[in-house]
Amino acid sequence: MSIEVKSELNHSVSQVLNKPKESQIKNALAILLSNKAAMIGAMIIIFYLLIALFAPLLAPYDPYAINLDNKFIPPSADHWMGTDDKGRDILSRLLYGSRLSMGVGFAAVAFGALFGIMCGLIAGYYGKWVDSIIMRVMDILLAFPGILLALAIIAALGPSLINVTIAVGAFSVPLFARIVRGSTLEVKKLEYIDAVRSLGANDFVIIFKHIFPNILSPIIIQGTLRLATAILSAAGLSFLGLGAQPPSPEWGTMLSSGRDFLFSAPYIALFPGLAISILVLGFNIFGDGLRDALDPRMKN
């Protein structure tokens, strides 16, 4: 290829790759802001994030302090959400528990997204036998119900919050891998990818500089929706005694400890259950709004 032709091709590709996307971003943001349900979900998420961030400042009591003289106090001016069977303030435990529950959810999704994206990019870009091997492994993982796969992993590793994070993240890997693979197959067929390859770009540059940035939308959508599932799954595993262990104020553990007092002191289980439900609802409706804003197929 002559120097003039290569220079002209390089200039053309640069124009395509550097094409401003401000209008697309503004359009997506406008659609998202006009979606009232998505904005409610965003406010719920922000509220929970602020609670987790400022839990030490907001909590009126030590979440681990046991005071048997104050056990089973119903919601009152001193204890807004009451106290549990060991006299611990439920509100303080919920505030500190938001750090654990949300931390596990975000860590699990990050774990699943990292490995899923890598597998999807490699399978979609290289194809052939590489694609077949990776996707058959993903199919095997998808053959197991997510919670069953998580239970099997925890049975092998032992109950702990870290192992719950790994277990919940593991059944998110094939979902990210399939989405990324499909998007990679679409993008790698575009003309500008052939032009970049003709300029001498190696596979690493093509994959991570030119393909990956163009498939972020479905990854963001999937990640937001998976956060709700991850938080709910982690709480469910802790409820079964396979995740965070007492006296940890993790919401699933609190819910489990309160089930023995559903008739005598229902507030012990009620408030952790509400906290989980509202947060999961927030992520779900915000994720739906993101899908409407970022997925062109959802637009009129």
Tens place of pLDDT for every residue, the chain, 300 residues?
A: 454 444 554 444 444 444 445 566 777 788 888 889 999 999 999 999 999 999 999 999 999 989 888 899 999 999 999 999 899 999 999 999 999 999 999 999 999 999 999 999 999 999 889 999 999 999 988 888 878 888 888 888 888 888 899 999 998 999 999 999 999 998 888 887 878 888 777 888 888 888 898 888 889 989 999 999 999 999 999 998 888 888 889 999 999 988 889 898 999 999 999 999 999 999 999 998 888 887 655 544
What SS3 class is residue 147? helix
**8 Å CB contact between 200 and 86:** no
pTM, 2 dp? 0.86
| Position 70, amino acid | N
CA 10 to chain centre: 38
Q: What pLDDT score was predicted for residue 74? A: 93
Residue in the structure block whose two tokens are 């904005």:
39
* Domains assigned to the chain: 43-298 (1.10.3720.10)
Specify the pLDDT at position 248.
Answer: 87
Under 8 Å between Cβ of 233 and 150: yes
d(CA 120, CA 117): 5
Tokens of 35: 């979606």
**CB 250 within 8 Å of CB 93:** no
CA gap 149, 52 in Å, rounded: 29
The pLDDT, as a whole number, for residue 64 is 92
Whether the ω angle into residue 63 lies within 30 degrees of 0, i.e. cis, is no
User: From the CB of residue 106, how many other CB atoms can be counted at a distance below 10 Å?
Assistant: 16
Instruction: Check residue 21 and give its pLDDT.
Output: 56
